Amino acid sequence: MDLQTLKESGAIVTGGASGLGAATAARLADDGLVVTAFDLAAGIEKVRESGSAREDITYVAVDVTDDAAVARAVAEAAERAPLRVAVNCAGICPSARIVGRQGTHDAALFATTIQVNLVGTFHVLTHAAAAMAATSPVDEDGQRGVVVNTASVAAFEGQVGQAAYAASKGGVHSLTIAAARDLSSLGIRVNSVAPGVVWTPMMESINEEFRTELEARVPFPARFARPDEYARLVAAIVGNDYLNGETIRLDGALRMPPR
């Protein structure tokens, strides 16, 4: 599905008020898609107060862990334009050891991480796919849409303190091929991107010494990835009709050490 042919088609981006989601929403809007950005109310308020909200993007307050809310928001987005693209960027990245100085890993924190990163991704994937299935195919292959999820290199090399995060992102990776096969009869492709270290607001909260150490681990280019590079990869995935069921690492050849 060439992006030029998708002008005026609908796209949903979760986590669309900042970081990877904001860059992806902007890229798809620049390519002429009718973009709806999902995010928490606080994130949307912040982007509006900063003056960085775009008039060509519709911002909708949605908690991706709320299945009913996701269903309503996806239906509303599909009314604006036939839905063809959905990108899952919403996520959290807590850190806690399974057994640490404060005791065992907080069970609620683990469950919340799974709910946001994995179950939230599943909610959006499910309702977006249903909306795409209701559209007419765009080509002779019968293609109706594409979903791009966000995994992480932690899905493959989870570090100390990343049990919850790695489990959630490993789930996203494993979901990818199963969802691609499930949705193949409907003409819907499913892929995931597994970023390494990316310069986002989440990264800015980490102390400078650790950020420098992380950056030094990347073989080449020896720097953090930029959100726009993630967005460009999403655009490439959307545009390559034979790319399906794949998790693509975007990491500069980084392989994470234990800590």
- Return the closest-CA partner of residue 5 out of 134, 143, 124: 143
The helix, strand and coil proportions of the chain, stated in percent and rounded to the nearest 5, come to 45, 20, 35
CA distance readout (Å), 35 to 38, 116, 179, 192? 10, 22, 23, 19
Residue 77 to residue 140: CA distance in whole angstroms: 26
* C-alpha dihedral sign at 192, 91, 228, 86: positive
Distance CA 169, CA 162 (A): 10
* Separation between Cα atoms, residue 26 and residue 7, nearest integer Å: 14
Selecting among 59, 165, 230, 242, the annotated active-site residue is 165
At residue 147, φ and ψ (nearest 5 deg) are -115, 135
- Known catalytic residue: 165? yes
The residue among 248, 141, 150, 252 whose CA lies nearest residue 196 is 252
The answer to whether the beta carbons of residues 16 and 25 sit under 8 Å apart is yes
The pairing of beta strand 103-104 with beta strand 99-100: antiparallel
Active centre residues (catalytic): 165
